[in-house]
C-alpha cells in the first residue's frame, strides 16, 4: 500500500508497511529469521553493495520484517524513511554518529531523559562532541547557545519526567533560521498524539520500548527522517551527508538520495558500521503492536486525565504535572500540539517528601514499581533514586526533578482499579 495516501492514523497503523506475503498470500507478517539473502547474480550483488540497486543483502542493514514496521511508523510520523534500532539509546547513538564529528556541539533541553544526557555528556564528550544544556521551555536560550559548530537542537515533545511540553514551532523557526536540524524525541506522545514533523521538526527519535511496543516485552528505538532539512545547503556542517563518502566509493548521499539522504545514510552506512539493529522477532512484535497504538493512546490519555484530576484534588498530594490539566504551565501548548490527548505520563509529589513517596510505592499492589513506561499496565518510579540517579543533584534540580517527584505511567486498565490502588498507597503514605 502506498504510504503517501492521506489515510488517518489508525488506517496507517494497520495497513502501511505490510499488505500480505507476495509468494504465499499469508496475511500476517512473517518473521524473516535470516542473516543474509541469496543474490540473484554477481552483478546484482555488486549493485547492492554499491547502492546502485535497492534490496536486502544482510540483516544488520535491513530485514523485511523490520522494514514492515519501519514503513508503518514512518507513515504515521510523516517522514521519508525510518531506521529501527535495538533500543532508544541506540537510536540517539546512531543519529549523532550520522550527523556529528569531533569539534561539533548539540544544543539540548536540560529536561530530556537522563539516559540521553548521560550518553551525550559522558560518552560523546570523550569523542569531542559537546553538549550545551538549555532550559527547554525558553526558545531564546536555544538560539543564544547555537554557534557555527552546532549540528542539532534536541528536545522531547513531553519531557521525561518533568512533563514540560516543547515549544515546537518556536524551536523549528530557530532551527530553520540558524541552519541546524530540530531533533525531537517523540516517545511520550507517540505519532498518534503528536507529529512533530507537522510543526517543523526535522528528525524524530523514539524509544519504541515504550508506547509503540506497549507490552513491556522488548527494547527498541527508531529514527525518522522528516526529509525537510536541506543538508546540501550546509555541506561544510554536514560532510557525512553532503560530501563524498569514502566508504561508499565516493558517493554523496544528498546527491544520490535527495530528501532521503539522512535515512539512506543511517540504513546503508551507520547501522552497518555501528550494528545496533533490532532482531526480526522484535520487528514482528513492534509491527503487531503498532496496529493498536491509536486505540491504546486514546485509553492511556483518558485514564491519565482522570488520574491527574484525582491526584490534584487529593489532600495527600503536593502537586501534579500533567499537560492535560489547566494548572500545567504549558497547557496552552498542549492544547495546540496534543489535541487528541496528552498520553499516559505524569509526575507528582506526595506531601511528606521522599519518605512519604517510599511508603506510597511500597503499598501499591496493582501498579508496578519498575524502570519502564508506556506499558499497557500502570507503572510508577522515583526518578531521583533510579532513572536520573546518574545526574548530579545540581543537574537534577536544574531539570526540575526534585527529590520527591514520582513518575507515573498510567496504563489502560479499568480506571476504578488504578484509582483504588493509588488511593490505598496515598493513605499509607500519610499514615503517621
Ligand X SMILES: Cc1ncc(COP(=O)(O)O)c(C=O)c1O
Q: Which residue ranges make up the site for ligand X (CB under 6 A)?
A: 87-89, 113, 115-116, 156, 160, 185, 187, 207, 209, 219, 221
Per the DSSP assignment, residues forming a β-bridge with 122 are none
* Minimum CB–partner distance for residue 160 and ligand X (Å): 4
* Minimum CB–partner distance for residue 15 and ligand X (Å): 26
* Minimum CB–partner distance for residue 249 and ligand X (Å): 34
Q: How far apart are CA 80 and CA 257, in angstroms?
A: 11
Q: Which is nearer to ligand X, 30 or 216 (CB)?
A: 216
Strand order in the sheet with 379-381: 317-321, 345-350, 406-409, 379-381, 368-369
Whether the CA torsion 44, 57, 63, 267 is positive or negative: it is: negative
Q: Which is nearer to ligand X, 252 or 301 (CB)?
A: 301
Q: How far apart are CA 13 and CA 203, in angstroms?
A: 20
Residue for cell digits 555528556?
Answer: 121
Q: How far apart are CA 31 and CA 68, in angstroms?
A: 11
Helix H or strand E segment including 184? strand 182-185
Q: Which is nearer to ligand X, 160 or 378 (CB)?
A: 160
CB 48 within 8 A of CB 230: no
Q: Which is nearer to ligand X, 100 or 154 (CB)?
A: 154
Residue nearest to ligand X (CB): 88
Q: How far apart are CA 418 and CA 311, in angstroms?
A: 12
Whether the CA torsion 324, 329, 331, 337 is positive or negative: it is: negative
Q: Which is nearer to ligand X, 187 or 190 (CB)?
A: 187
Q: Which is nearer to ligand X, 260 or 387 (CB)?
A: 387
Q: How far apart are CA 338 and CA 332, in angstroms?
A: 10
Q: Which is nearer to ligand X, 156 or 245 (CB)?
A: 156
* Minimum CB–partner distance for residue 421 and ligand X (Å): 23
Q: How far apart are CA 25 and CA 48, in angstroms?
A: 27
CB 197 within 8 A of CB 226: yes
Give whole-number Cα distances, 425 to 3, 302, 356, 421, 422, in Å: 46, 22, 10, 6, 5
Q: Which is nearer to ligand X, 160 or 202 (CB)?
A: 160
* Minimum CB–partner distance for residue 348 and ligand X (Å): 18
Max Cα–Cα distance, the chain, nearest Å? 78
Q: Tell me which residue of 170, 171, 129 sits closest to 150, measured CA to CA.
A: 129
* Minimum CB–partner distance for residue 231 and ligand X (Å): 24
* Minimum CB–partner distance for residue 58 and ligand X (Å): 24
* Minimum CB–partner distance for residue 345 and ligand X (Å): 9
Amino acid at each position: 500500500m502506498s504510504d503517501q495516501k492521506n489515510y488517518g492514523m489508525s488506517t496507517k497503523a494497520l495497513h502501511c508497511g505490510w499488505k500480505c506475503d507476495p509468494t504465499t498470500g499469508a496475511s500476517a507478517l512473517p518473521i524473516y529469521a535470516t542473516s543474509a539473502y541469496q543474490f540473484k547474480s554477481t552483478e546484482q550483488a555488486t549493485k547492492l553493495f554499491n547502492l546502485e540497486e535497492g534490496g536486502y543483502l544482510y540483516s544488520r542493514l535491513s530485514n523485511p520484517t523490520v522494514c514492515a514496521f519501519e514503513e508503518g511508523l514512518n507513515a504515521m510520523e510523516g517522514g521519508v524513511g525510518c531506521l529501527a534500532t535495538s533500543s532508544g539509546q541506540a537510536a540517539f547513538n546512531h543519529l549523532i554518529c550520522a550527523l556529528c564529528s569531533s569539534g561539533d556541539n548539540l544544543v539540548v533541553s536540560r529536561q530530556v531523559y537522563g539516559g540521553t544526557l548521560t550518553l551525550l555528556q559522558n560518552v560523546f564528550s570523550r569523542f569531542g562532541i559537546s553538549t550545551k544544556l538549555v532550559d527547554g521551555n525558553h526558545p531564546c536560550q536555544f538560539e543564544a547557545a547555537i554557534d557555527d559548530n552546532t549540528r542539532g537542537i534536541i528536545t522531547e515533545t513531553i519531557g521525561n519526567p518533568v512533563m514540560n511540553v516543547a515549544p515546537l514551532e518556536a524551536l523549528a523557526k530557530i532551527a530553520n533560521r540558524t541552519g541546524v536540524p530540530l531533533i525531537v524525541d517523540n516517545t511520550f506522545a507517540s505519532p498518534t498524539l503528536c507529529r512533530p514533523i507537522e510543526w517543523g521538526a526535522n528528525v524524530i527519535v523514539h524509544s519504541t520500548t515504550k508506547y509503540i511496543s506497549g507490552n513491556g516485552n522488548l527494547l527498541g528505538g527508531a529514527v525518522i527522517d522528516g526529509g525537510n532539512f536541506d543538508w546540501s545547503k550546509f555541506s561544510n556542517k554536514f560532510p557525512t551527508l553532503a560530501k563524498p563518502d569514502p566508504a561508499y566509493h565516493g558517493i554523496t548521499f544528498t546527491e544520490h538520495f535527495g530528501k532521503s539522504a539522512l535515512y539512506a545514510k543511517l540504513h546503508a552506512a551507520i547501522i552497518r558500521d555501528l550494528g545496533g539493529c533490532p532482531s526480526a522477532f522484535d520487528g514482528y512484535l513492534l509491527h503487531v503492536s503498532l496496529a493498536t497504538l491509536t486505540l491504546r493512546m486514546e485509553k492511556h490519555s483518558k485514564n491519565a486525565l482522570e488520574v491527574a484530576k484525582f491526584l490534584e484534588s487529593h489532600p495527600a498530594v503536593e502537586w501534579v504535572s500533567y499537560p492535560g490539566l489547566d494548572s500545567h504551565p504549558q497547557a496552552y501548548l498542549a492544547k495546540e500540539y496534543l489535541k487528541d490527548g496528552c498520553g499516559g505520563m505524569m509526575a507528582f509529589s506526595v506531601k511528606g517528601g521522599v519518605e512519604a513517596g517510599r511508603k506510597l510505592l511500597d503499598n501499591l499492589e496493582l501498579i508496578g514499581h519498575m524502570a519502564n513506561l508506556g506499558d499497557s499496565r500502570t507503572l510508577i518510579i522515583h526518578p531521583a533514586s533510579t532513572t536520573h540517579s546518574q545526574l548530579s543533584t545540581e543537574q537534577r534540580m536544574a531539570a526540575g526533578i526534585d527529590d520527591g517527584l514520582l513518575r507515573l505511567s498510567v496504563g489502560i486498565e479499568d480506571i476504578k482499579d488504578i484509582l483504588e490502588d493509588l488511593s490505598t498507597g496515598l493513605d499509607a503514605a500519610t499514615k503517621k
